[in-house]
A and B are shown apart, each in its own frame.
Chain A
Amino acid sequence: GNSVTQMEGPVTLSEEAFLTINCTYTATGYPSLFWYVQYPGEGLQLLLKATKADDKGSNKGFEATYRKETTSFHLEKGSVQVSDSAVYFCALTGRGTSGSRLTFGEGTQLTVNP
């Protein structure tokens, strides 16, 4: 079946530091890949997505590139802010009989200190 593995957290950074959160996946065929963000006390928001190999998703300074050869979709941001403190979930939707079922990684808690 499909699965997503994220780097374990929590991650603590100083403001303006570089962020990488690793995400690798296992899926048959060509899944679509997503990063969702959950701010404290809120639901999940779609941060960015990529639907085919070598696509780069980007939003709010965050980027992730769909790497089929390494089955990875690592999240990066060049300069984090305190307001980026949240939990980040890597996710995928498969194709075929599993349809658009969303499979999540375990989530990575990010704390950015001023």
Chain B
Amino acid sequence: DTEVTQTPKHLVMGMTNKKSLKCEQHMGHRAMYWYKQKAKKPPELMFVYSYEKLSINESVPSRFSPECPNSSLLNLHLHALQPEDSALYLCASSQDSAGQGGGEFGYTFGSGTRLTVV
């Protein structure tokens, strides 16, 4: 299995809703990432988990709450979002863990969740 699987593919939520995005990989990768991508822009890093521990939070608002229940799963819990949070949310994983240098294997990205906040 060489894929990163993200669910759901599309999500529409109101500003008072609570929802979760899910990401799964079975490649034995020890680093997992959440990115946010706005139209016609490169992905922006939100969070990094390394060996199931949060290692990087790029000053993301607390209405986004990541969780890594085990080495294969990564969740992003959403609460009280704003319309400007509408974007494509990408999950990725990599063999090497963040902070150890190298990164020569590249990242494997999921196909993303298209989120619309109304």
Contacts and interface: CB of A to CB of B under 8 A. Distances in A.
B103 A44 contact: no
A25 interface: no
Interface of A: 32, 34, 36, 42-46, 49, 51, 87, 89, 93-97, 99-102, 104-107, 109
B21 interface: no
A33 to B, nearest CB: 10
Max chain A C-beta neighbours (<10 A), residue from B4, B42, B104? B42
Nearest to B44: A104
Instruction: Give the size category of B's interface with A.
Output: 20 to 34
B31 interface: yes
Contacts, number: 77
Nearest to B95: A100
Nearest to A31: B103
Candidate in B100, B107, B108 with the most chain A CB atoms within 10 angstroms = B107
Contact of B40 (A93, A101, A105, A109): A109
A99 B40 contact: no
Interface string B73-115: 0000000000000001010101011111111101111111000
A44 B96 contact: no
B45 interface: yes
B41 A51 contact: no
Contacts of A51: 104
5 nearest CB pairs, A to B: A100-B103, A93-B103, A104-B42, A99-B99, A43-B111
B42 A93 contact: no
Contacts of B90: 43-44
Contacts of B108: 46
5 contacts: A36-B109, A43-B110, A46-B106, A93-B106, A99-B99
Contacts of A87: 40
A97 B56 CA distance: 12
A34 B41 contact: no
Nearest to A48: B106
Contact of B103 (A99, A105, A106): A99
